[in-house]
C-alpha cells in the first residue's frame, strides 16, 4: 500500500556494471485494475552517478496525489456496505535498466492519501488487519452516522453487523477495494457489534439531551474517511475583513455631513465554530491527533457536507491521571467567505 502524504520511495537495485541509468514508468488507474503500462502518466529517468552506486531511489508521492478527489462518499440513504469512488487508486509501475539486459518487471500497488508518523520509518503502511481506524471502541451519535473503512482485497469474505453477515466479493474494480460499513444509527440498538474477520469493533450509541451533536467527517491517517462526533457546546463566531479609504467631499467651500469620510469596501467575513466533544476515553487522543492533521474536513450536515478547516494549531494531549475527565475542544473555520465572491 502506498500512502501519499508521506514520501514513498521506489528503490531500483543497480547491480550490473553496464547499467548507466534506470527509467521508472508510472501508470495510475482509477477504473479496472490490470497490469497494463500503456498510456503512461509519468516517465522518470535517473542516471547512475558512478560505478559504485548500487541503488537509485525514486520518490513518487506528489505525482500520485494529483489524482485524488477529496469529496466524502456519503449519503443518508446508504446501505451497510459501500465503496469509495474517488479516494483509492491503483498504481502500475516498471523499472527499465538502461545499458543492461535485465528484464522489466511490472509491479502493482493500491494507493491511498494517507501518511505515516516519523517513527514509523520509510514507506509507511496500513494496519495489518486492513481496518483503517485507530480504535476498536467508539461512542457514536445515536441520531447520526458512523462508518468503518477497510480494504476489500479478499482478506475478508464477509462483515457481520449485530449477528447479520454481509458478504464481500473481491473485484478488479478499483473503487471496490476501499469499502465502508455505513451506519445510520437511528436504525440500530444501543450497542452495535461489528466483526470483520477476527476483529471486533464496538459502537456505543450516546444520547445527548441538552445540546445538538455535530458529526465531523475527515480524512484520517490512512487516507479513509472517519466520523467524529462533538456532543456538547457549539460556539459560533465571525471575523470580518475590510479595506477603507478617506473621502474628501468638499465642494464650493462646504462638505456633505451625510457622506462617509471613512468609506469601507471589500468587506467580507468568515465564520468559525468551536466544538466540544464531551467526555471521552483516553484512547480518543489518537483520533483527535488525526483530525488535527487532516487536510480535508467536513461537517456531515445530514448528508450535505460543509467544508471546514481545522483552526486549532496547538493542542495538549489529555490523560485520566492528570485531567480526570477528558473533553476535547477544537476550533473550525468554514472554508468559504460569508459573502459569496466566487
Q: What is the pLDDT of residue 38?
A: 87
How many other C-beta atoms can be found within 10 angstroms of the C-beta atom of residue 158?
Answer: 15
- Length of the chain, in residues: 342
Q: Which cell goes with 49?
A: 552517478
Nearest-CA neighbor of 24 among 60, 77, 68?
Answer: 60
Backbone dihedral region of 278: left (phi > 0), alpha (psi from -120 to 50 degrees) or beta?
left
Q: What is the pLDDT of residue 15?
A: 79
Q: What is the pLDDT of residue 136?
A: 93
Q: Which cell goes with 78?
A: 446508504
Q: What is the pLDDT of residue 36?
A: 85
The model's pLDDT over 189-244, given as tens digits with 9 standing for 90+, comes to 889 999 998 899 999 999 988 899 999 999 999 999 999 999 999 999 999 999 99
- pLDDT band at 101, cuts 50/70/90? low
**SS3 of residue 64 by DSSP:** helix
Nearest-CA neighbor of 127 among 107, 108, 155?
Answer: 155
Q: What is the pLDDT of residue 103?
A: 61
d(CA 11, CA 96): 12
- The mean pLDDT value for 135-151 works out to 93
Is the distance from CB of 159 to CB of 194 less than 8 angstroms? yes
- pLDDT band at 169, cuts 50/70/90? confident
Q: What is the pLDDT of residue 102?
A: 62
Average pLDDT for the chain: 90
| Angle 16-17-19 from CA coordinates, rounded to 5° | 75
**SS3 of residue 81 by DSSP:** strand
C-alpha to C-alpha distances, 136 to 129, 139, 338, nearest whole angstrom? 12, 10, 39
Is the distance from CB of 46 to CB of 80 less than 8 angstroms? no
More confident: 42 or 323: 42
- The mean pLDDT value for 8-29 works out to 89
> Phi and psi of 262, rounded to 5°?
-105, 115
- What pTM value is reported for the model? 0.89
Q: What is the pLDDT of residue 106?
A: 78
Parse the chain into domains and list their residue ranges: 2-72+86-120
Instruction: Tell me which CATH code domain 2-72+86-120 carries.
Output: 2.60.40
Is the distance from CB of 332 to CB of 310 less than 8 angstroms? yes
**SS3 of residue 63 by DSSP:** helix
d(CA 165, CA 178): 18
- pLDDT band at 262, cuts 50/70/90? very high
**SS3 of residue 275 by DSSP:** strand
- The mean pLDDT value for 117-145 works out to 93
**SS3 of residue 177 by DSSP:** helix
The model's pLDDT over 196-209, given as tens digits with 9 standing for 90+, comes to 988 999 999 999 88
| Angle 289-194-151 from CA coordinates, rounded to 5° | 65
Element (H, E) at 291: helix 284-293
- pLDDT band at 84, cuts 50/70/90? confident
Helix, strand, coil distribution of the chain in percent, nearest 5: 10, 45, 45
Q: What is the pLDDT of residue 18?
A: 84
Amino acid at each position: 500500500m502506498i500512502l501519499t502524504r508521506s514520501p514513498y520511495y521506489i528503490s531500483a537495485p543497480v547491480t550490473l556494471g553496464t547499467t548507466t541509468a534506470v527509467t521508472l514508468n508510472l501508470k495510475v488507474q482509477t477504473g479496472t485494475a490490470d497490469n497494463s503500462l500503456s498510456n503512461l502518466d509519468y516517465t522518470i529517468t535517473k542516471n547512475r552517478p558512478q560505478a559504485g552506486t548500487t541503488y537509485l531511489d525514486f520518490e513518487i508521492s506528489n505525482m500520485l496525489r494529483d489524482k485524488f478527489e477529496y469529496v466524502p462518499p456519503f449519503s443518508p440513504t446508504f446501505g451497510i456496505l459501500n465503496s469509495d469512488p474517488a479516494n483509492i487508486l491503483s498504481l502500475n509501475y516498471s523499472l527499465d535498466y538502461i545499458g543492461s539486459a535485465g528484464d522489466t518487471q511490472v509491479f502493482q500497488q493500491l494507493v491511498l492519501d494517507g501518511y505515516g508518523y516519523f517513527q514509523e520509518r520509510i514507506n509507511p503502511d496500513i494496519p495489518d488487519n486492513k481496518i483503517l481506524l485507530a480504535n476498536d471502541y467508539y461512542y457514536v451519535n445515536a441520531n447520526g452516522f458512523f462508518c468503518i473503512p477497510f480494504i476489500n482485497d479478499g482478506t475478508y469474505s464477509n462483515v457481520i453487523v449485530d449477528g447479520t453477515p454481509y458478504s464481500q466479493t473481491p473485484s478488479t474494480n478499483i473503487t471496490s477495494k476501499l469499502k465502508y460499513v455505513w451506519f445510520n444509527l437511528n436504525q440500530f440498538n444501543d450497542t452495535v457489534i461489528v466483526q470483520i474477520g477476527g476483529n471486533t469493533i464496538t459502537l456505543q450509541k450516546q444520547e445527548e439531551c441538552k445540546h445538538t451533536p455535530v458529526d465531523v467527517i475527515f480524512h484520517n491517517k490512512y487516507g479513509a474517511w472517519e466520523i467524529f462526533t462533538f456532543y456538547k457546546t457549539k460556539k459560533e463566531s465571525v471575523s470580518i475583513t475590510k479595506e477603507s479609504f478617506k473621502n474628501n467631499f468638499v465642494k464650493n467651500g462646504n462638505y456633505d455631513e451625510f457622506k462617509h469620510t471613512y468609506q469601507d469596501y471589500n468587506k467580507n467575513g468568515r465564520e468559525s465554530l468551536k466544538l466540544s466533544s464531551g467526555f471521552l476515553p483516553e484512547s480518543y487522543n489518537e483520533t483527535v491527533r488525526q483530525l488535527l492533521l487532516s487536510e480535508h474536513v467536513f461537517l456531515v450536515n445530514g448528508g450535505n457536507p460543509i467544508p471546514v478547516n481545522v483552526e486549532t494549531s496547538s493542542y495538549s494531549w489529555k490523560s485520566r491521571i492528570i485531567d480526570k475527565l477528558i473533553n476535547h475542544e477544537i476550533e473550525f473555520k468554514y472554508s468559504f467567505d460569508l459573502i459569496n465572491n466566487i
